[in-house]
């Protein structure tokens, strides 16, 4: 083992290694990725290999606290509990309601009303997240999410995207507040899974793929 010199001046607080790529989160909340870029799992908007840690510019201004690298996709979540996914979407492992790949991180909007993500894991073909429910729900993000999903005209879609990101940004905790993550055992949490359901690995009693996050009722 040897030091990653490109990060020698960065205090790293979280790391994750996938099959052919790696992720690291700095103390300032910046996400770095490197390795094989196939399917967009590095989050840089392309499929190019990155031999050195490179900041993911698509997440600038969003304080990331945890990262998780799979074989062909990646999950990260911010201090406000918003989950982002990118990479190969086959089987629904990104949680966006389709199997499309994503070359840059996108918020998993289906979880915005459910609560704040405080833990996660990835398999080769599926994802699992731990969610701390919002007290009383989160109407602002739900309204923005609804507008985003129902907008079809290009201009309306762009406006809805800006509104959605504004709602997400408004969820950021104040300076000095504890970030999401490391859920207290005494707090109520829910478990959601999505992706390839073969062998019952999503925990829903069947082998059906889930394109959107689905709550495991056994833990509800």
So what's the pLDDT on residue 161? 58
Question: Rounded mean pLDDT of the chain?
Answer: 85
What are the tens digits of pLDDT across the range 91-122? 999 999 999 999 999 999 899 888 889 999 99
pLDDT at 131 over 90: yes
Determine phi and psi for 13, rounding to 5 degrees.
-115, -10
Range in 38-42, 45-49, 56-60, 108-112 with the lowest mean pLDDT: 108-112
Task: Spell out the long-range contacts of 37-42 with Cβ–Cβ below 8 A and sequence spacing 24 or more.
Answer: 38/72, 39/72, 39/73, 39/87, 39/88, 39/101, 40/86, 40/87, 40/88, 40/101, 40/102, 40/103, 40/104, 41/69, 41/70, 41/72, 41/73, 41/74, 41/86, 41/87, 41/88, 42/74
Which element (helix H / strand E) includes 164?
A: helix 154-169
Is the pLDDT higher at 183 or at 124? 124
User: Which of 24-28, 131-135, 150-154, 196-200 is predicted least confidently?
Assistant: 150-154
Q: What is the pLDDT of residues 138-169, one digit of tens each?
A: 555 555 555 555 555 666 655 655 566 566 66
Q: What is the pLDDT of residue 188?
A: 77
Look at 85-94, 123-132, 186-195 and tell me which has the smallest mean pLDDT.
186-195
pLDDT of residue 97: 95
Residue 157's Cβ-count burial label (10 Å; 0-12, 13-18, 19+) is: middle
Per-residue pLDDT band at 1 (split at 50, 70, 90) = confident
Q: How far is it, in rounded angstroms, from Cα 8 to Cα 10? A: 6
| Residue 41 CA from chain centroid, whole number | 12
């Amino acid at each position: 083992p040897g030091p990653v010199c490109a990060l020698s001046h960065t205090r790293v607080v979280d790391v994750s290694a996938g099959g052919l790529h790696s992720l690291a989160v700095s103390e300032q909340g910046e996400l770095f990725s490197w390795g094989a870029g196939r399917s967009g799992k590095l989050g840089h908007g392309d499929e190019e290999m990155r031999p050195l840690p490179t900041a993911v510019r698509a997440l600038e201004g969003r304080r990331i606290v945890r990262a998780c690298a799979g074989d062909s996709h990646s999950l990260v979540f911010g201090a406000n509990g918003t989950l982002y996914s990118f990479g190969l979407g086959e089987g629904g492992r990104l949680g966006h309601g389709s199997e499309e790949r994503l070359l840059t991180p996108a918020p998993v909007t289906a979880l915005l009303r459910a609560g704040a993500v405080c833990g996660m894991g990835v398999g080769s073909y599926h994802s699992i997240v731990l969610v701390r429910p919002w007290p009383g729900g989160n109407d602002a993000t739900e309204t923005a999410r609804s507008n985003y999903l129902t907008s079809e005209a290009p201009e309306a879609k762009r406006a809805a995207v800006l509104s959605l990101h504004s709602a997400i940004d408004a969820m950021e905790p104040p300076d000095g507040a504890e970030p999401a993550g490391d859920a207290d055992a005494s707090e109520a949490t829910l478990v959601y899974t999505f992706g390839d359901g073969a062998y019952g690995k999503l925990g829903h009693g069947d082998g059906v793929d889930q394109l959107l996050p689905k709550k495991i009722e056994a833990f509800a």
